[in-house]
Amino acid sequence: MIFQFSKNPAMTLAFSFALVIAAGTLLLTLPASTPDGMRISFTDALFTATSATCVTGLIVRSTPAGFTLFGKTVILVLIQLGALGIMTFSIALILTLGRKISKAQEMLLKDALNEENIRSTRDILKFLLIFTFGAEAVGTGFLFFCFKKFFPAAESFKMALFHSVSAFCNAGFSLLDANIMCFAQRPSVLFVFSALIILGGIGFVVLLDIINFRKVNSHRFKVHTKIVITSTIFLLVAGTLLFYAGEKNNTLSGMRCGDKWMNAFFQSVTARTAGFNTVDISKITPFSKFALLPLMFIGASPGGTGGGIKTITFVLMLLVAASHLKHREDLVVFGRNIPAFFARRAFAITVYAALIIFAASGILLYTEHFPFENIIFEVVSAFGTVGLSTGITCGLNDISKYVITFVMFMGRLGPLTIALAAIGASGDERVSVSYADERIMLG
């Protein structure tokens, strides 16, 4: 079986995540994970383990009150494993022990990090681990001094560590029942959270490219880096303006002007797969929910800790539309031509994502009695591994919880990865067959 999995990286990645979720579910059902008299059901344990491993943040029970220190530690470990990828960790261990990685493991690593050049991939892997733990350590330090004003030193350190890892991994889990709403008017706290979320979601390939640019004078940014940075800035600015417009007289009404803009910016950041909130999402306007939907659907960038269809996919879809309007066959961006294969892949990812969201929304609309907009919001949030909710998660029945669990799993691995895993490793045995062309009518 292992040999068969090694021939299909997508299947191995899916299997690895499923294995970790299963282990996390088992650990969370242990009596040591929950306070006395608060045993968790299998369904809720599976939901929580999936939400943590898939760095989503949707919860069906309070994280601070519903779990012991052991249970919270399990959740934190699942977040870290899910963010970096199980195969990345295992291959990092092999490299640490000085063993040579096999071709199959190279394929797994390339697939996990979305990098074609294996030499570059090895560099990214080392950088990935160093930067991740370094950023989380620095974030812990900053948050410790922020939290120390409100909590005892020992408690501040535990909260700082948990929230730093959760923010960098774009998980959205919090040790505060109201998430981080109590820090809505603390710009320093929101800035640290925002920085961690952006650094975790922008992708290690981009971060490494920026560092190489600073080291080598002749180095030019990759087109990938240019697309990610440009699209990230555009989405952050657009999200901030739209959320401010929708909430300035609603959930942001009691704040000073500067705090209003800071919270609007923060919600624009966190909607891109992080899931923290400084305002009550159940009270935001329908316009604001509508504005957050595309941010959650697009998500983070390839190689980052977040989910969604990713910024590159979003930009490629726009390029396809622009090329069609200009009557051009090729996709050109920043003076470079993008091969047609990537456009087809972007289209496939978007279609698979839409099908998953439509199917899951249909099931929830049939089995639940919540408003239509809240169900759509919940499903898109689950697929984008965001974790924002209008408050309906705890009220879902078991069927709906299993559906959301499945959507979180699909969203974390990516629709195309799941499709590739289902196809199997029979690509070499396929025979290419050509058929006669025939025109059809569109529109």
pLDDT number for residue 111: 61
pLDDT number for residue 94: 57
CA distance to 6, 8, 9, 12, 353, per residue, from 3 (Å):
5, 9, 11, 10, 30
Cα dihedral value 359, 361, 367, 371, nearest 10 = -160
Phi (first) and psi of residue 433, to 5 degrees: -125, 130
pLDDT number for residue 401: 96
What are the domain boundaries of the chain? Answer: 2-422
pLDDT number for residue 1: 41
Q: Tell me the pLDDT of the chain (443 aa) as tens digits.
A: 444 444 566 777 788 889 999 999 999 999 999 998 889 999 999 999 999 999 999 999 999 999 999 999 999 999 999 888 765 765 665 565 566 666 666 666 666 655 555 555 667 777 888 899 999 999 999 999 999 988 899 999 999 999 999 999 999 999 998 899 999 999 999 999 999 999 999 988 888 888 877 766 656 788 889 999 999 999 999 999 999 999 999 999 989 999 999 999 999 999 988 989 999 999 999 999 999 999 999 998 887 888 899 999 999 999 998 888 887 878 888 888 888 888 888 888 899 999 999 999 999 999 999 999 999 999 999 999 999 999 999 999 999 999 999 999 999 887 657 655 555 544 445 556 778 878 777 76
pLDDT number for residue 97: 56
pLDDT number for residue 2: 40
Cβ atoms of residues 404 and 360 within 8 Å: yes
pLDDT number for residue 430: 53
Query: Could you give the count of Cα atoms lying within 13 Å of 349 in the half-sphere of its Cβ?
Result: 28
Cβ atoms of residues 297 and 408 within 8 Å: no
pLDDT number for residue 425: 46
Q: Which residues contact 260 (CB under 8 A, 6 or more apart)?
A: 244, 248, 252
Q: Which residues contact 224 (CB under 8 A, 6 or more apart)?
A: 205, 206, 209, 302, 312
